[in-house]
Amino acid sequence: MPKVELHVHLEGSFDAERIAQLAREAGEVMPYDKESVLSPSNLDELLTRLDWWCGLVRTPEQVERQAYDLARRLSDDGVVYAEVIVNPTHWSALRRDVLLEAVSEGFARASAQGLCDAWLLVSLLRSQTSDEAIELVAELERRPPSRLVGLSIDGNEAAAGPTGERFASAFALAATIGLGRTAHAGESSGPEGVWSALDQLRVTRIDHGVRSIEDPHLIERLIDDSVTLDVCLTSNVRLLYGTIDLHPLRQLVERGVAVTINTDDPATLGVNLTSEMALAETVCSWGIDGAIGATERAIAASFASDAKATELRRMLDVFAAQVM
């Protein structure tokens, strides 16, 4: 099935072999065993490790290769379009504009070869200041990376505390320059994070958002405003629920919330979109028609151009006609 991914981090696409290679190239000793480097015990530890291995990337060529390799792996899994989150704060050895253009170049090279058409979501870190956020968006306006489609925000919600008011001006500026807006919310914090993203950041979709299930009024708001939740099952199980039986995906679907299925950090979690779609099928018992529906919702929620969205729908229609 031609698939669409809206919630995947470039920082989470490094496999253990690539990390070890980057450490050798940088002349650094790995502080983690190669066998366990991709197995952090909690969100804070994951973010610390992301900082470390992204900091091993010292050249634009290394960035371009990582971006290209992610697009190639997505293609191998049948993903035809992706919006990839990149948070410059993790990549300490590179200037922000150099990093983002190198990512765009890797995606463009892959697309030119007929691989997954990947685009860029630049992300703020929750611990940044309001001024830093506005500075980032102003830079994106002055010198937009060639495959930029939107602005995101990620990081540990619970640790950072409320951030909606702090970043409202940056997201408002992003809207004026035509960028799509999404935000991680309703993961390490509860429904209040989703309310803030909707009311203060004015996002059109939510990354994760699964704890919305705890607030019936929020569920009504998501449905009334046609807000999509970009859900990552395995990631949520690892960091929140402990078992797939406790995940609220089925409840969200049954109540009429629009959800898509995504991988979050595919290499770190050892998943791909096919395996996550299969897991969603076991949770929701929705069959191939459910997977097609989730992909239709991903196309609708994407920040793709009208022409690209039409192309993606046509590809999905051809597939559906063959299997249904």
Q: What is the pLDDT of residue 159?
A: 76
d(CA 279, CA 261): 10
Q: What is the pLDDT of residue 41?
A: 78
What the chain holds in terms of domains, given with CATH numbers, is: 3-323 (3.20.20.140)
d(CA 284, CA 253): 8
Q: Report angle CA 84, 86, 92 to the nearest 5 degrees.
A: 155
The CA distances from residue 134 to 48, 129, 151, 172, 179, in Å, are 25, 9, 12, 10, 14
Q: What is the pLDDT of residue 231?
A: 98
Among 5, 11, 83, 187, the one annotated catalytic: 187
Task: Tell the burial category of 48 from Cβ atoms under 10 Å away from its Cβ (0-12, 13-18, 19+).
Answer: exposed
Sign of CA dihedral 302, 305, 308, 312: positive
| Sheet with 3-9, side-by-side order of all strands | 3-9, 79-86, 117-125, 148-154, 180-185, 205-208, 228-231, 258-261
Q: By C-alpha distance, which of 12, 50, 111, 82 is closest to 261?
A: 82
Q: Rounded to the nearest 10 degrees, what angle do helices 164-176 and 130-142 cross at?
A: 10
d(CA 182, CA 4): 16
> For residues 324 and 287, is the Cβ–Cβ distance under 8 A?
no
Active site (annotated) includes residue 187: yes
d(CA 230, CA 52): 27
d(CA 211, CA 188): 9
d(CA 197, CA 153): 10
| Most distant CA pair in the chain, distance | 54
Q: What is the pLDDT of residue 273?
A: 98
Q: What is the pLDDT of residue 47?
A: 86
Beta strand spans in the chain (E): 3-9, 79-86, 117-125, 148-154, 180-185, 205-208, 228-231, 258-261
pLDDT per residue as tens, the chain (324 positions): 999 999 999 999 999 999 999 999 999 998 888 888 888 878 888 888 999 999 999 999 999 999 999 999 999 999 999 999 999 999 999 999 999 999 999 999 999 999 999 999 999 999 999 999 999 999 999 999 999 999 999 988 877 777 889 999 999 999 999 999 999 999 988 999 999 999 999 999 999 999 999 999 999 999 999 999 999 999 999 989 999 999 999 999 999 999 999 999 999 899 999 999 999 999 999 999 999 999 999 999 999 999 999 999 999 999 999 998
- Helix, strand, coil fractions of the chain, as percent rounded to 5: 55, 15, 25
Sign of CA dihedral 187, 191, 194, 200: negative
Per DSSP, 264 falls in state B
Q: What is the DSSP string of 88-108?
A: GGG-TTS-HHHHHHHHHHHHH
